[in-house]
Amino acid sequence: MDSKTAIDIIHKRTSIRSFHDRKVSKEQLETIVRAGMAAPTAMNKQPWMFIVIEDKEVLQALGKDIPTSKMVQQAPAAIIVCGDMKKAGEGWLQQYWIQDCSVASQNILLAITDLGLGGVWTSVYPAENRMKIVSEILHLPEHLIPLNIIPVGYPAENKSPMDKWKPENVHWGVFE
């Protein structure tokens, strides 16, 4: 039995942009979204909403109209992570939704990797035009702000994770 640790999964994760035409099960998608919801949040606000798309026409529209999201067109599913301003804090605290939804997105990407699937973070926020396109295609109410689109599927490419370790980016103690 292959025993994986969280560290193994973190270092195995890579951005997959090409997918086989094979359906991802509802159970797998629910497991992935549950991982997103397990993320820590400021003041436990959980200011997120996850839109799971399996409809090919919707996936085609999202991939066609957003230049950085072309790979969504061939993915069997996608998860759109949105900030829910009705759940977010008040005043300046509201901006924590970005960090909270980003941590949830990372959990989603790690869960995708753990399940042997592939995915990639495609940015929507803060590009006004992308946010508008996603909101229109998905009929999002005004209080939902799309952060990203994460296509999900069985990888049609074999990529090795990048080693991003750079000791020069670490300072021990105070900055020197």
Take residue 158 and report the two structure tokens written for it.
């074999």
- Residue 149: closest CA among 105, 84, 98: 105
Over residues 16-22, mean pLDDT:
97
DSSP string, 37-79: HTS--GGG---EEEEEE--HHHHHHHHHHSGGGGGGGT-SEEE
* Per-residue DSSP letter, 85: T
pLDDT higher for 2 or 91? 91
Question: In angstroms, how far apart are the furthest CA atoms of the chain?
Answer: 53
Report, as an integer, the average pLDDT of 147-162. Answer: 96
Rounded CA separation 41/97 (Å)? 8
Does the pLDDT at position 1 exceed 80?
Answer: no
In the predicted model, what is the mean pLDDT of residues 98-105? Answer: 98
- Whole-angstrom distance, CA of residue 101 vs CA of residue 147: 7
Sequence spans of domains, the chain: 19-157
d(C-alpha 70, C-alpha 64), whole Å: 6
Written as six digits, the tokens of 21 are: 């035409």
Taking domain 19-157, whether its CATH number is 1.10.1740.10 is answered by no
Rounded average pLDDT over 55-64? 97
